[in-house]
Amino acid sequence: MEKNTLTVKRGLAQMLKGGVIMDVVTAEQAKIAEDAGAAAVMALERVPADIRAHGGVARMADPEKIIEIQAAVTIPVMAKCRIGHFVEAELLQALGVDYIDESEVLTPADEAHHVDKRGFDVPFVCGCRNIGEALRRIGEGAAMIRTKGEAGTGDVVEAVRHMRAVMGDLRRLTTMREDELATFAKDVQAPLDLVASVARDGRLPVVNFAAGGVATPADAALMMRLGADGVFVGSGIFKSSDPAIRAKAVVEATTHYQDASIIATASRGLGEPMSGIARDTLAPEELLATRGW
């Protein structure tokens, strides 16, 4: 019997495909998410919109909250650690979370290094803006990738930009000659062996979700249409006027992303979405997506 292999780490992400992973800060929210059909929940101290609004240092969630959330639901419980904060990651592993998100949404703990994720038993998901960043994280041991988007804004534009960048580069890679791959690897700062295997397979070796700015069922379906394997929704659920109903609608839109009439029906009577901040009105130092190296 072998545990903690790449197959089981990447495999859990494969089981989440076609599903929605929702940010929650309490056990009560976790239960609402599970009842709405979430495939997993992400435990954190504050949702990204509140981190933006209130400022300060954003850290991993209180262990007490994580334990309460684990007790409240049967679906996988993920939790965020700060970029480079391998001790927070060790704590989350000790708490028995099912996946760790080394996340730019929290205040980075290290301005040069990410966590060496290969040494952990628990799998990691990491954000990316392009294929180079995705492959660097996979090289460090990430078993799942997501776009960064721009968390806490309710503006999907940045997630679209990142998903199009990744999928476009994947398509380009499949048409490159062998000798062009090395130059591509150098240009995007990614390990050559990973670049070569992606060029051969025409896809990333891990599941790739969309995240950062998804606020409506149509946003979720848009990301699926652009090639996402599934969707993270952060502030979009619990900063809306009726989280339970919106959560269910986002789940349905993610499953039926190719069927506009089903999405239209699911989108009726949801109340107000989160108010949102247009990404282009943020100052450079307010952007979360630029965190990570």
Partner 1 sequence: MTPVIGVLALQGDFAEHAAMLRRLGVESREVRVPRDLEGLDGLVIPGGESTTIGKLLETYALLEPVRDLGASGFPIWGTCAGLILLATDVGTPQPLLGLMDMTVERNAFGRQTDSFETDLDIDGLPGGAFHAVFIRAPIVSGIGDDVEVLAKLDDGRIVAVRQGNLLGTAFHPELTADARLHGLFVEMTRVA
Cite the active site residues. Answer: 80
Q: Cα–chain-centroid distance for residue 52?
A: 18
Burial class (CB in 10 A: 0-12, 13-18, 19+), 78: buried
User: Which residues have C-beta within 8 Å of that of residue 148, sequence separation ≥ 6?
Assistant: 104, 127, 128, 129, 158, 159, 162, 211, 212, 288, 289, 292
Query: Residue 15: which of 78, 89, 70 has the closest Cα?
Result: 78
Whose structure tokens read 């949102």? 276
Of 102 and 150, the one with the shorter C-beta distance to partner 1 is: 102
- Compose the 82-121 pattern: x for residues touching partner 1 by CB under 8 A, - for all others: -----------x--xxxx---------------------x
CB 136 → partner 1: shortest distance, Å? 24
Residues 116-145 that bind partner 1 (CB under 8 A): 121-123
User: Which residues have C-beta within 8 Å of that of residue 231, sequence separation ≥ 6?
Assistant: 19, 20, 21, 209, 210, 211, 214, 220, 223, 224, 250, 254
- Please tell me whether residue 3 binds partner 1 under the rule CB under 8 A: yes
Query: Residue 234: which of 176, 156, 120 has the closest Cα?
Result: 156
Of 7 and 290, the one with the shorter C-beta distance to partner 1 is: 7
> From the list 24, 38, 58, 170, which residue makes contact with partner 1 (rule: CB under 8 A)?
38
CB 215 → partner 1: shortest distance, Å? 20
> From the list 37, 139, 168, 276, which residue makes contact with partner 1 (rule: CB under 8 A)?
37
Of 49 and 73, the one with the shorter C-beta distance to partner 1 is: 73
Q: Interface residues with partner 1 (CB under 8 A)? A: 1-5, 7-8, 11-12, 14-19, 34, 36-40, 74-76, 93, 96-99, 121-123, 251-252, 254-256, 259, 262
